[in-house]
Chain A
Amino acid sequence: MSTFDPITHRLRHGCQTMAFPAGAPPTLPDRHGGSLRVEAAKCAEGCTACAPVCPTQAITRAPGNPVVLDLGKCIFCAACVEACPTKAITQTNKHGMAVRKREDLLLGKTGEEELRLAAALDEKLKKLFGRSLRLRQVSAGGCNACEADVNVLGTIGWDLSRFGIQFVASPRHADGLLITGAVSRNMELALKKTYAAVPSPKIVIAVGACAIAGGPFIGHSQILNGASSIVPVDLFIPGCPPHPLTILDGLLRVLGRLD
């Protein structure tokens, strides 16, 4: 190798970082499907075809009530979309899915067919973190897929640090936690200690179905069904795993950097 090889390579390729958010976001893979839309009003009388096909018990329909799909529990397998006879559950192809409140992930009722996207932090926190957010990542029973797609945001295509967001090597350096995984009982203590070690004010971001509600392991005795069982969560980003674009969208949204 000549020393010049990587340099000429750089010149040839130019800047490889995507234009988003100034430009258009990259498109999701066509078979991804994006977020879901649930119109309970379209459900057939007494129909519960979707509930039993859901692997993570994300869909419920109590007798006499409209169907409710909890996007926090959803692993986006689309089994319900295929099972629904009246097309009440559909894929939206939208990448934005981050919400501030857990109940904003419940879909179904009229007016709540889609999730309610996250609002930015209040002015004080936005002033503190809006241009510089340091996060400590804790994997607590994650499968390394959410972790991998968080990691990907640090690569040249996404270049997370251009927004002032970085992952740091100590909770003492951090403004908050980004948690992945269902929170295994074996990580309970470590997660508590890590949270306590982050100076206040701090924010917590739960990434992926596991961190929101337990994912495929929901209800299992060895896990605690997500981060909220241990720490207060400020931002929920659904997916199994969420696409990197969904994670980035969530981070920018909560910092008030997406208009």
Chain B
Amino acid sequence: MNSTCEFLLLSNGTSLPWADVPEWPADEFVAATAAEIERGGRLCAWFGVPENSGTRLIAIIAFDSEDTLAVGRSVPLSKSYPSLTLLHPQAHLFEREVLEQHGLVPEGHPWLKPVRRQNGGHPANGKYFRVEGGEIHEVSVGPVHAGIIEPGHFRFQCNGEEVLHLEIALGYQHRGVEEALNGGPHRATMSQIETVAGDTTIGHATAYATILESLAGTEAPLRAQWLRAIALELERLANHTGDLGALAGDVAFLPTASACGKIRGDFLNLTALLCGNRFGRGLVRPGGCKHDFETERASQLLAKLRVALTEVDEAAEWLWDSNSVRGRFEFAGTISAALAAEIGLVGVAARASGLVRDVRFDHPAGWHRFAPVPVAVWPGGDVFARARVRWLEIQRSAKFIEEQLAAPAEGEIFSATGELAGDTLAVTLVEGWRGEVCHVALTDAAGKFRRYKIVDASFHNWMGLALALRGQAISDFPICNKSFNLSYCGFDL
């Protein structure tokens, strides 16, 4: 590789001229990306940008301990390139996606299959991995599931109760989000972003708004950044509480399941108190926020937050103190720290395997530059650890909101963004409640989206669930699944 030419560095929430991004021929670009990962980087995004008759590959790498992002690109390619997955498995799904979107073949990729491509009324799932043997049976679940859940297909290879292999085929929720964003921003763009993953409305909306502000060379007023940070934690509180309840429900521990189901709704109502919508629709807008807290509303929020927190505290204590719950949670679906790093897990799942990985701490942008959040880590890597990290984060999110309400930012909540810069690349990471939400925008000469790439935490983490099931009893699938609680639509886009 060309040692004089390195990846270009930038900070979270900033942008740079597209022409400044260094480029390499295909094989050197893959080697350069691998080298960046080897010196401590992590692949946030890997995607294609069509140019003339070919496609450029773009890599966004995060150096978590250095608060730095790095970007590089290949020259336009037309047929194939040597697979990065062979060197770094965390690239496996990105390379499948690039093949599907642009037709570039990663030579040597061990499991090249469609990701979400449509094939006559259902996704083109491709051929499933199959374990042969007279004692082996296959269990096939979905796409429509036995509850109120999004669709996806799970294919288990089992020997008796034991799962030897699980393959997860998604794509059923594909709505064409990235396609719809091309040429944007359009008038529907903001509401499409808010529904990329509807339970992560604030996470995705904040990432998008930050991208637009960065492209316009402005920043949202401080009070708007403050409001976004509070809303992000309210979103985390609601979802984490719901997950603790769902986990309890799956091991038939009904006191916590019932209590958390209700308290989750109480947290959603706090978001509705702020903006009218329980999922935070209509709150975050490029340039700031659409709603504000009057003093009265803020104290109402604080009072209700404290009640909900006391209740969830109590409900969680029952869970931790119950031997039968611990018996089911401990050593179920274990992912070691080494494996988590290898496959590039993010968010709760990564932190529950002992990895210190949290965008709010590692790559602070917006209000988090002034109000740091400690990272909640638990070492076990099992269902218990993933539940435990959620619990720690519930406590810290509540404390964070209390602290912020005590020392509010003053001023306006909105300042209109101007024209978007042309031929510019912008990158934003936000720590959504599941984990890292990554948005990358590239504008054309007129300042319209030439390419908009979205990577939800689920894109990194579904493989974690598949591997967590290896050697597990199939009856533990529900708790393993709930302990990850990944998004289908956020993956399917």
Instruction: Determine whether B321 belongs to the interface, using a CB cutoff of 8 Å to chain A.
Output: yes
In the complex the two chains form, what is the Cα distance from A171 to B317 in whole Å? Answer: 38
Chain B contacts of A52 at CB under 8 A? 187
Structural contact, A181 and B173, CB atoms closer than 8 A = yes
Structural contact, A147 and B176, CB atoms closer than 8 A = no
Closest chain-B Cβ to A204's Cβ sits at a distance in Å of 14
Chain B contacts of A181 at CB under 8 A? 173
Chain B contacts of A240 at CB under 8 A? 191, 195, 277, 281
Closest chain-B Cβ to A218's Cβ sits at a distance in Å of 8
Structural contact, B173 and A186, CB atoms closer than 8 A = yes
Instruction: Determine whether B262 belongs to the interface, using a CB cutoff of 8 Å to chain A.
Output: yes
Q: Please, which residue of chain B has its CB at the minimum distance from the CB of A138? A: B144
Structural contact, B148 and A167, CB atoms closer than 8 A = yes
Structural contact, B175 and A141, CB atoms closer than 8 A = yes
Interface residues of A in 178-202 (CB under 8 A from B): 181-182, 184-190, 192, 194
Closest chain-B Cβ to A186's Cβ sits at a distance in Å of 5
Structural contact, A32 and B272, CB atoms closer than 8 A = yes
Q: Please, which residue of chain A has its CB at the minimum distance from the CB of B279? A: A145
Instruction: Determine whether A217 belongs to the interface, using a CB cutoff of 8 Å to chain B.
Output: yes
Instruction: Determine whether B33 belongs to the interface, using a CB cutoff of 8 Å to chain A.
Output: no
Structural contact, A75 and B191, CB atoms closer than 8 A = yes
Q: Please, which residue of chain B has its CB at the minimum distance from the CB of A193? A: B144
Instruction: Determine whether B143 belongs to the interface, using a CB cutoff of 8 Å to chain A.
Output: yes
Structural contact, B173 and A184, CB atoms closer than 8 A = yes
In the complex the two chains form, what is the Cα distance from A243 to B279 in whole Å? Answer: 10
Chain A contacts of B179 at CB under 8 A? 220-222
Chain B contacts of A187 at CB under 8 A? 122, 143, 151, 172-173
A33-B276, A220-B180, A241-B279 as given contacts; A1 in contact with B318, CB under 8 Å: yes
Structural contact, B176 and A142, CB atoms closer than 8 A = no
Interface residues of A in 69-118 (CB under 8 A from B): 75-78
In the complex the two chains form, what is the Cα distance from A52 to B187 in whole Å? Answer: 8
In the complex the two chains form, what is the Cα distance from A31 to B261 in whole Å? Answer: 24
Instruction: Choose the segment among B53-61, B197-205, B417-425, B461-469 that binds chain A (4+ C-beta atoms closer than 8 Å).
Output: B197-205
Chain A contacts of B451 at CB under 8 A? none
Closest chain-B Cβ to A133's Cβ sits at a distance in Å of 15
A9-B314, A32-B277 as given contacts; A170 in contact with B146, CB under 8 Å: yes
A187-B172, A216-B188 as given contacts; A139 in contact with B279, CB under 8 Å: no
A77-B191, A77-B281, A185-B121 as given contacts; A142 in contact with B173, CB under 8 Å: yes
A-B CB proximity, top 5 nearest:
A143-B198, A31-B276, A145-B198, A1-B321, A222-B176
Selected A-B contacts with CB under 8 Å, 21 pairs? A9-B259, A16-B262, A31-B274, A32-B272, A33-B276, A77-B281, A141-B172, A145-B195, A145-B281, A148-B199, A152-B265, A155-B264, A157-B265, A187-B143, A187-B172, A188-B122, A189-B120, A190-B172, A215-B195, A216-B192, A217-B176
Q: Supply 14 further A-B pairs (C-beta < 8 A) apart from A137-B148, A148-B199.
A: A1-B318, A32-B272, A75-B281, A139-B150, A143-B489, A152-B261, A152-B264, A186-B116, A186-B171, A217-B175, A220-B175, A220-B179, A222-B179, A243-B278
